[in-house]
Chain A
Amino acid sequence: EVQLVQSGAEVKKPGESLKISCKGSGYSFTSYWIGWVRQMPGKGLEWMGIIYPGDSDTRYSPSFQGQVTISADKSISTAYLQWSSLKASDTAMYYCARHLGVTYPLDYWGQGTLVTVSS
């Protein structure tokens, strides 16, 4: 069974750093892209970027380039999304999802990680 399991909810202060994770199982982790999607409270889905764990090829949405870093450790089938200095506006639910290629759909999704940034 394909599963993407994300790390738990986080509460952070502005300026702090954070790294959340997404662990894949039930499929060849290095053969699929992992994408990250933001959903701010009460708002729609926003595509942030993707990584191919097989060779760490990474692409970012222009809206998120320079704001976050996407990485992966294929030895433990885990992708990451990290911030070096959080802002209150980063408060959102973050989802990871996999797809076979950039033209393929996001077919399996993680359960989401809620990040709350508040002083």
Chain B
Amino acid sequence: QSALTQPPSASGSPGQSVTISCTGTSSDVGGYNYVSWFQQHPGKAPKLMIYEVTKRPSGVPDRFSGSKSGNTASLTVSGLQAEDEADYYCSSYAGSNNPYVFGTGTKVTVL
């Protein structure tokens, strides 16, 4: 099972929006609505930001939103803030034999 493909980096100025893509296959992203997104600051554990493609856990700002089209999922961060600068990883359910796959990760820089 290969890792999901994300762009290595993305950036935006404070207040702008940034969108990160996560491309898989019909066996993972395209086959199920079980895509999650995680935020990881340096030296910290990952934090769940989006699950089941579009849902936000309690406490996650509504500036974070998710979507999916075919084999590609996306995370959009609107109204960028300095604290949004972090690494972001997508993940997807990939079937019972190998249930979980992560994306390659995207470093978001707030200019």
Question: A residues bordering B, Cβ < 8 Å?
Answer: 35, 37, 44-47, 50, 59, 61-62, 95, 97, 102-107, 109-112
Contact = CB atoms under 8 A, between A and B. Distances in A.
Interface in B22-61: 32, 34, 36, 38, 40, 45-48, 51-52, 57
Contacts of B96: 102
B47 A109 contact: yes
B99 A106 contact: no
Nearest to B55: A105
Contact of B102 (A47, A50, A59): A47
Contacts of A103: 32, 34, 93, 99
B75 interface: no
Contacts of B38: 45, 106
Which size class do B's interface residues fall under? 20 to 34
A35 B40 CA distance: 17
Contact of B36 (A62, A95, A105, A112): A105
Interface of B: 1, 3, 32, 34, 36, 38, 40, 45-48, 51-52, 57, 89, 91, 93, 96, 98-105
Contacts of A109: 45-47
A110 B45 contact: yes
B100 A35 contact: yes
Nearest to B106: A44
Nearest to B49: A105
B36 A106 contact: yes
Given A44-B3, A105-B51, A95 B45 contact: yes
A105 B102 CA distance: 12
A65 to B, nearest CB: 10
A107 B57 contact: yes
B47 to A, nearest CB: 7
Contacts of A50: 99-100
Contact of A44 (B51, B99, B103): B103
Contact of A62 (B40, B93, B98): B98
